[in-house]
């Protein structure tokens, strides 16, 4: 077994992993990226549509173009990159090092590292996660798999398509399937509002006259060898209106029913996970409950834009560098999701330094007010023109926001939307 040693190891070679690794190298630390695929870039390499990079590079790029900007920097750096390599286990070791056990075509290896950054991204929910009743015919794909088939492998999965769920990748694939000559008959969404970004609703559905059925549940799949159709039942006041059920004939179903952070490895290592985001619980340094183990990107919580993934991951790399130098926050206080807020990340912030906080609304509302309350005292109110669950809210908190206030380790900063 090969034995290797680095100051930090980043697990995952997508946008998050590359951004974090580049920041660590800039800070003067040795770093390695472990990637199970045969290329860097992650899911971006199959996202050939544009719309990436408006915040990160101030220009509109395709997914591969966005990834290539980072891949080029990594290639020119001294960062060690191990492709086709899977981390099977990582554990604290005696002393200050963690041990990561990996397998690759070249054999097994063990990496010794002071810091570990989790950047494994997320995966799609499938039919088993949403329990759609009916038969089990061919022709049911996740939207991401269909995207790979069309964009990378050159296969068209079907001719008459129904998309279940209005997540961004499903909306983008509705447009993509229309472009290649398929008939997209509908997008069916169980919630009363779309799950994807507003711009994707406009550009992917309205521009192609694709029907969107809100407050509608897929209650059946028809077909034996191949999908022949689905049954859709509207919901009224949260209850299925069975008498209003209808059938949509199709030969292909694409599932866009949400993403799940890829945290099996984290869980096995003893990393504490957030029950709402399914990602690690992290403090103001994006460090987990395990000393020296950090998390960033979609493995932490699912982001809307890869631009935000990169921004967060650079901070994770910078915080890991601070930790490697022995720097620690003097005081951290807990954050709390209050009324109409689904979650707040990170779960703790440091009042004595800059903090970047992400949260998601549980409601769709115009002219909303985001209120921050420190120990039941209003710290800040911010007007939001529009909030909805599919669009993440982010804001900065600086030491000046806490000037003149009594803050201690028992203080709680609560976020509410009114």
Calpha distance 70→382 (Å, rounded): 34
Domain 334-417, second-level architecture = Sandwich (2.60)
pLDDT at 95 (0 to 100): 64
Calpha distance 228→375 (Å, rounded): 57
Range of weakest confidence among 129-143, 202-216, 317-331, 344-358: 129-143
CA angle 236, 239, 242 (to 5 degrees): 85
Please compute the mean of the pLDDT values over residues 169-192 and round it to a whole number: 95
SS3 374: strand
pLDDT digits 0-9 by tens, 187-234: 999 999 888 888 899 999 999 999 999 999 999 999 999 999 999 999
Calpha distance 104→206 (Å, rounded): 46
Range of weakest confidence among 119-133, 160-174, 256-270, 377-391: 119-133
Please compute the mean of the pLDDT values over residues 303-332 and round it to a whole number: 95
Residues 288 and 267 sit within 8 Å (Cβ to Cβ): no
Residue found under tokens 């990582």: 90
Please compute the mean of the pLDDT values over residues 128-155 and round it to a whole number: 90
Nearest to 347 by CA among 413, 266, 403: 413
pLDDT digits 0-9 by tens, 148-157: 999 999 999 9
Per CATH, the number for 126-257 is 3.50.50.60
Tell whether the model's pLDDT for residue 6 goes beyond 90: yes
C-alpha count within 13 angstroms, C-beta hemisphere, residue 130: 21
SS3 245: coil
pLDDT at 92 (0 to 100): 77
**Which token pair is 235?**
């919901």
pLDDT at 343 (0 to 100): 97
Using pLDDT thresholds of 50, 70 and 90, give the confidence band for residue 240.
very high
Tell whether the model's pLDDT for residue 33 goes beyond 70: yes
pLDDT at 130 (0 to 100): 74
Helix axes 15-26, 63-76, angle to 10 degrees: 30
pLDDT at 414 (0 to 100): 97
Residue partners of 23: CB distance under 8 A and separation at least 6: 313, 314, 315, 316, 317, 318, 321
* Sequence spans of domains, the chain: 2-123+260-328, 126-257, 334-417
Residue 359 main-chain phi, psi, to 5 deg: -150, 160
pLDDT at 136 (0 to 100): 87
Residue found under tokens 């915080």: 319
pTM for the model stands at 0.93
- State the DSSP H helix or E strand holding residue 87, giving kind and residue range, or none if neither: strand 86-92
Please check whether the two domains, 2-123+260-328 and 334-417, share a CATH topology: no
Pick the CATH number of 2-123+260-328 from 3.40.50.1100, 3.40.190.10, 3.40.1190.20, 3.50.50.60: 3.50.50.60
Using pLDDT thresholds of 50, 70 and 90, give the confidence band for residue 131.
confident
Calpha distance 294→292 (Å, rounded): 6
- State the DSSP H helix or E strand holding residue 90, giving kind and residue range, or none if neither: strand 86-92
């Amino acid at each position: 077994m090969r034995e290797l040693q680095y100051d930090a190891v980043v697990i995952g070679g997508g946008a998050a992993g590359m951004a974090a690794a580049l920041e660590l190298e800039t800070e003067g630390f040795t770093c390695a990226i472990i990637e199970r695929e045969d290329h860097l870039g992650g899911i971006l390499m199959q996202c050939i549509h544009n719309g990436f990079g408006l915040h990160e590079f101030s220009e509109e790029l395709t997914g591969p173009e966005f990834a290539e900007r980072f891949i080029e920097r990594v290639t020119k750096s001294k960062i060690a990159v191990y492709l086709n390599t899977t981390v099977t286990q990582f554990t604290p070791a005696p002393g200050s090092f963690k041990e990561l056990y990996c397998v690759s075509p070249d054999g097994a290896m063990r990496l010794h590292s002071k810091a570990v950054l989790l950047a494994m991204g997320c995966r799609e929910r499938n039919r088993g996660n949403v329990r759609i009743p009916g038969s089990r015919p061919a022709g049911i794909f996740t939207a991401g798999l269909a995207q790979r088939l069309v964009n990378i492998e050159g296969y068209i999965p079907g001719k008459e398509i129904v998309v279940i769920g209005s997540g961004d990748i499903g909306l983008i694939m509705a447009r993509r399937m229309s472009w290649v000559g398929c008939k997209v008959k509908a997008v069916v969404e169980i919630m009363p509002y779309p799950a994807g970004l507003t711009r994707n609703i406009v550009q992917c559905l309205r521009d192609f006259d694709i029907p969107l059925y809100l407050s509608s549940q897929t209650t059946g799949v028809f077909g034996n060898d191949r999908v022949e159709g689905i049954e859709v039942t509207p919901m009224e006041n949260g209850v299925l209106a069975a008498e209003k059920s209808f059938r949509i004939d199709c030969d292909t179903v694409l599932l866009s029913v949400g993403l799940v952070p890829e945290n099996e490895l984290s869980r096995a290592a003893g990393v504490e996970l957030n029950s709402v985001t399914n990602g690690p619980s992290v403090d103001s340094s994006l460090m987990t409950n395990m000393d020296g183990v950090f998390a960033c990107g979609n493995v932490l919580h699912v982001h809307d834009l890869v631009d935000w993934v990169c921004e967060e991951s650079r901070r994770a790399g910078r915080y890991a560098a601070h930790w490697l130098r022995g720097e620690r926050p003097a005081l951290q206080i807990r954050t709390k999701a209050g009324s109409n807020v689904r979650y707040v990340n990170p779960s703790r912030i440091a009042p004595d330094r800059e903090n970047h906080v992400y949260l998601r609304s549980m409601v769709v509302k115009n002219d909303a007010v985001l209120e921050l309350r420190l120990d039941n005292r209003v710290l800040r109110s911010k007007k939001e023109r529009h909030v909805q669950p599919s669009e993440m809210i982010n804001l900065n908190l600086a030491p000046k926001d806490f000037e003149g206030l009594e803050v201690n380790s028992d203080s709680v900063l609560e976020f509410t939307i009114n």
